[in-house]
Chain A
Amino acid sequence: MFQTTSSETSFQEISTAQLLFNVCRNLHQVAERVEALGQFVMKTRRTLKGHGNKVLCMDWCKDKRRIVSSSQDGKVIVWDSFTTNKEHAVTMPCTWVMACAYAPSGCAIACGGLDNKCSVYPLTFDKNENMAAKKKSVAMHTNYLSACSFTNSDMQILTASGDGTCALWDVESGQLLQSFHGHGADVLCLDLAPSETGNTFVSGGCDKKAMVWDMRSGQCVQAFETHESDINSVRYYPSGDAFASGSDDATCRLYDLRADREVAIYSKESIIFGASSVDFSLSGRLLFAGYNDYTINVWDVLKGSRVSILFGHENRVSTLRVSPDGTAFCSGSWDHTLRVWA
């Protein structure tokens, strides 16, 4: 590779090569000296049965105990994950309820799907009240709703849609506060930055792009396009400085916002099915990813190695979230069940 010309030139060439060798290309290189993780024992601690068809989405309540889940058959159920009891159930007028979210107060849930809308249902413990009667239609898109999330309060909802846009809505009035245009195809997922880091959110779509948006201006501030297929899930790193993505290209990736680039990739030759949903453990050291091959892989975020593979679901894992205090995580699957793991 190096031509031997004068001895001075060869010395320069070798030094340059050494410099390049020391350039840091990713997180795994920096974390080489970090102690490897030991064996993990994570088991299914609860199985939530009751949906009549594929579970498509779930979310935790801030009380770290209640869970809302939505299904292809149009049902949205609120569970007490400690006892596995169903506390509320509502049937949506559409099938494929692809998105659901718990309000920060714990007093309402939002959901939507093929109806192209996001609706908010207040949760009431009055047995005489019909939950569906108090339904409020908040968001209107021109294609399916793929994801929704309340912001810091019950007052605003962020939505992502198959129409290629995201939007911010006022719950009370149903008014559109801001819309986010830029994806070249369906938007499949979104995640809000942890509240300390300000008013941004990240979205992922069928255009293979992950985009970071300023919620106030509607502007895309950063975009990342290294995945080779649809991005099904995006989730912020707990510090807010990075986010992970899961894609149909069978990889998960970590993007650092301040370095403005991909800094890690989580993949194995043996993993050939798409990753449908990802979430971090509390410290950000572990990345849990649910796949279309029915498994959940647990990755060491720093070292890039897989530390565990969890079996149990009998069909695709479609949704996965770590509980608010990090003591457990819940997965939902096309096998009609949800599992709580710890």
Chain B
Amino acid sequence: MSSGASVNALQRLVEQLKLEAGVERIKVSQAAAELQQYCMQNACKDALLVGVPAGSNPFREPRSCALF
């Protein structure tokens, strides 16, 4: 009984591994180049990377202090 159950589990595992092995892959050099390209293309919009003009980042604005 228990060996039957583990055979089933192993068969499912083999099927899953076959599925994963069948995935189409590209080369790391190409994948890395495209990741880099995405970074470069969007760098100017990235406020945490390049900063934004003073006053346009709501968190950097000084908050007014009201004293009663």
Contact = CB atoms under 8 A, between A and B. Distances in A.
Contacts of B68: none
A64 to B, nearest CB: 8
A223 interface: yes
Interface in B9-68: 16, 19-20, 23, 25-36, 38-43, 45-49, 52, 57-60
A227 B34 CA distance: 24
A91 interface: no
Interface majority SS on B: helix, strand, loop or mixed?
A: helix
Interface string A209-228: 00000000001111100000
A201 interface: no
A199 interface: no
A286 B20 contact: no
Given A282-B42, A286-B49, A327-B52, A34 B36 contact: yes
B36 A24 contact: no
Given A45-B60, A282-B46, A342-B59, 13 more contacts: A31-B32, A220-B16, A237-B35, A239-B34, A256-B28, A258-B25, A259-B25, A260-B23, A284-B42, A285-B43, A286-B46, A286-B48, A327-B52
Contacts of A34: 36, 40
**Interface size bracket, A side:** 35 or more
A242 to B, nearest CB: 6
Given A302-B36, A327-B57, A342-B60, A42 B48 contact: yes
Nearest to A43: B60
B32 A26 contact: yes
B47 A285 contact: no
Contacts of A340: 59
23 contacts: A24-B27, A30-B28, A30-B29, A30-B32, A30-B33, A45-B60, A81-B59, A82-B58, A223-B20, A239-B35, A256-B31, A258-B26, A259-B25, A259-B26, A261-B28, A281-B49, A283-B49, A301-B35, A302-B35, A302-B36, A327-B48, A342-B47, A342-B57
